[in-house]
Amino acid sequence: MLWTKEAIKKIYKQPLMDLVFDAAKVHRLNNSNQVQLCTLLNIKSGGCSEDCSYCSQSSRYKTDSPVTPLMTVDKVLEAAKKAKANGSTRFCMGAAWRDMHGRKTNLKRIAEMVTEIRGMGMEVCTTLGMLTPEQAKQLKDAGLTAYNHNIDTSREHYPSVITTRSFDERLETIDNVKNAGIRVCSGGILGLGESEEDRISFLYTLGQIKPESLPINALVPIEGTPMAKNKKIPVHPILRTIATARIMLPKTIIRLAAGRYTMSESEQALCFMAGANAVFTGERMLTTHCTGWDEDKEMLDRWGLTPMPSFVEEQAEVESPKEMQA
């Protein structure tokens, strides 16, 4: 189904309890009570040339984020084994780069990481910046499950957040990933100063992409970045965004990502009721705090939710994100 902005707006602006109820019905019909535990490792930190206003890894801002080279294969495999032993079934690797241009040796090393982790029986996702079709194919051949490339926010609000990479360049990478046969992980960040209309437009684009995986981040303001003084986003727009996304994309995995640690357990439970069915867990997100494995497993148990195994078959449609103008 192709969603119009007006149809999305009608869903999004329902009374909140009605919206959550409708989303919960869709979620129950299409998904189990399982929640996937995912672990994200920063395999190359800082020094990024982009100017993303929320990110401490940009070389343009003075932050406490360290600048480190690409990790060795052995160190990454050690982290993946620890994550698997603690119950994570998806292992994600992020590197602070604009793109992979001129990084053939690094890409070859990352492909080796992907193959080894896939051999451990885990889903593998990477986020490395923009990809060419050839680079996407190389990762596909290595066994990559999914590639994360967030759209971050609405097309309209995007230039207020980032100027060094266009919205259409993001869609081009998503297109390259899809054409290589890799599942798309794409979502965004709430709390970037966007309006309600921006959140509806953000959902509109995601409705056209139809990602296999949709991470919802709540901004964690970091000292030294242009958005350091942004106010914490309250839970109700997060809940509305998740619930609307669940109605639009019944089979997509919706992931509670960065900023989840700022939410109470009851707020997280409402998000699970509305359709969220994955969390990032472990020692740390890319540059922000992350709730630990034991704490998360205990929480899921209290709410009658169970950990999701790897490679649960997804039915999110794969369509080209071209022609995505409003």
Active site residues: 48, 52, 55, 92, 125, 185, 255
Contact status, residue 147 vs residue 178, Cβ threshold 8 Å: no
Provide the 8-state DSSP code for 78: H
What percent of the chain is helix, strand and coil (3-state, nearest 5)?
Answer: 40, 15, 45
CA distance linking residue 11 with residue 111, whole number of Å = 41
Q: Cα-flanking dihedrals φ and ψ of residue 28, to 5°?
A: -65, -35
CA distance linking residue 37 with residue 90, whole number of Å = 7
Contact status, residue 307 vs residue 35, Cβ threshold 8 Å: yes
Ranges of H-type helices in 100-250: 104-118, 133-142, 167-179, 196-209, 235-248
Q: Cα-flanking dihedrals φ and ψ of residue 36, to 5°?
A: -80, 135
- Measured at the CA of 127, the angle between CA 66 and CA 33, to 5 degrees, comes to 110
Strand partners, 210: none
CA distance linking residue 196 with residue 74, whole number of Å = 45
- Measured at the CA of 163, the angle between CA 159 and CA 165, to 5 degrees, comes to 105
Provide the 8-state DSSP code for 127: E
